[in-house]
Amino acid sequence: MWFETIIKAIEKGISPLISIVVYIGSSMIALMMFLTVADVIARGFFDKSVYGAYELSEFMLVIVVFFSMAGCQLFKGHITIDLVVSRFPQRARDIIDSIMYVVFLIMFCIFTWVLTDYAIREIGGDISGMLHIPVFPFIFMAALGSALFSLVILMHLLIFLAGALKK
């Protein structure tokens, strides 16, 4: 069926990019950990904190969250509760999942669009309070993560639609 061709093309196209952003997000967790440890040590021994540690942690957290969503969805790592639906026949489950994924896809496409629009409007706008870092690159990163998440949702939607349309 043509669904499988589209699914494989989407997966082949986005898997390398998702691997890169997941690696970046994982690296940000390590950097946040080192920054927090350095801040705690500086406060404990020198009675001073690392300048801008809180702001940097906020920016890194944006990268961690939005860059890990697509990877988690690609490997079906998000929590699902299917106490009732798991008792349905496979085709009924695929139909229900298709409906849910259509809603998810619409929501995250709108979310991506709004984030991108917001980032464009913030170019040359807001900067952080202490370090004076522009905010818009991090909003663009959130939009990128959301767009990748939307593509993974589209891929899973097509998988469920293929199952629902099987005879």
pLDDT digits (tens, 9 = 90+) for 46-58: 888 888 888 999 9
Cα radius of gyration rounded to whole Å, the chain: 20
Average pLDDT over residues 85-96: 81
pLDDT digits (tens, 9 = 90+) for 8-34: 888 788 888 888 999 999 999 999 999
Average pLDDT over residues 124-135: 86
Q: What backbone phi and psi angles, to 5 degrees, belong to 126?
A: -60, 140
The pLDDT score that the predictor gives to residue 83 is 74
The pLDDT score that the predictor gives to residue 167 is 62
Domain boundaries defined on the chain: 2-165
The average confidence (pLDDT) of the chain is 87
The pLDDT score that the predictor gives to residue 91 is 82
- What are the DSSP calls for 72-137, one per residue? HHHTT-S----TTGGGS-HHHHHHHHHHHHHHHHHHHHHHHHHHHHHHHHHTT--B-TTT--BSHH
Split at pLDDT 50, 70, 90, the class of 4 is confident
The model's pTM is 0.86
Whether pLDDT at 110 is above 90: yes
The pLDDT score that the predictor gives to residue 123 is 87
